[in-house]
Amino acid sequence: MGFMYIFLVACTVTVTWATIYDIPFRSCRGIPGPSAIKVNCSSFERETCTLTKGQTYSIWANFTPQINVNAVQSSVAWKTWVEMPLPGQDADGCNGYLECPLAQNTPTTFTYPLQIQNFWMRRRYPIVWRLKDANTDIKILCFTFKILIT
């Protein structure tokens, strides 16, 4: 009985309590953007998704690729005066985040577990996310949104 109690307490502590929000975003200049973005934020105010260090949050981006794509490369970065890639993220977009291959003009959803590392500074960040064809480098999706790390 003691083991089960400790197990239940451990499971309860590690759950990320978050609500799914429609996130305002901007498409990148000259690159197709999503039709909608959702994130399970800890909270959401002033068009900014609040994320807590040490937690993982899901991001869903709905989009329609304009070309057929067999392999997708994903990149996410802080968008400041110089872009800095977020450490520890998986660049293989077909690694369970998309159903590859992507078919031209067929709606799909990019689903990604964004890990907020404990060493990241607590502050507001503009984020840029790009998906591109891993074989041709053609950009198939790009968007920016804001997060606040607490």
Looking at the chain, the number of H-run helices and the number of E-run strands are 1, 11
> φ, ψ for residue 30 (rounded to 5)?
80, 5
pLDDT at 6: 37
Q: For 28-58, give the DSSP string.
A: PTTS---SEEEEEESEEETTEEEE-TT-EEE
pLDDT at 7: 35
- How many CB atoms within 10 Å of residue 34? 22
What are the structural domains, with CATH classification, of the chain?
A: 32-149 (2.60.40.770)
Give CA 37 to chain center in angstroms. Answer: 9
Task: Report which of 90, 80, 93 is spatially closest to residue 121, judged by C-alpha positions.
Answer: 80
- Average pLDDT, 10 consecutive residues per value, the chain (150 residues): 38 57 95 96 92 95 98 94 90 96 98 94 95 98 96
pTM: 0.84
pLDDT at 60: 98
- Count Cα atoms within 13 angstroms, Cβ side, for 135: 7
Q: Which two three-digit tokens encode residue 137?
A: 């480098």
pLDDT at 17: 63
pLDDT at 18: 75
Length of the chain: 150
pLDDT at 80: 84
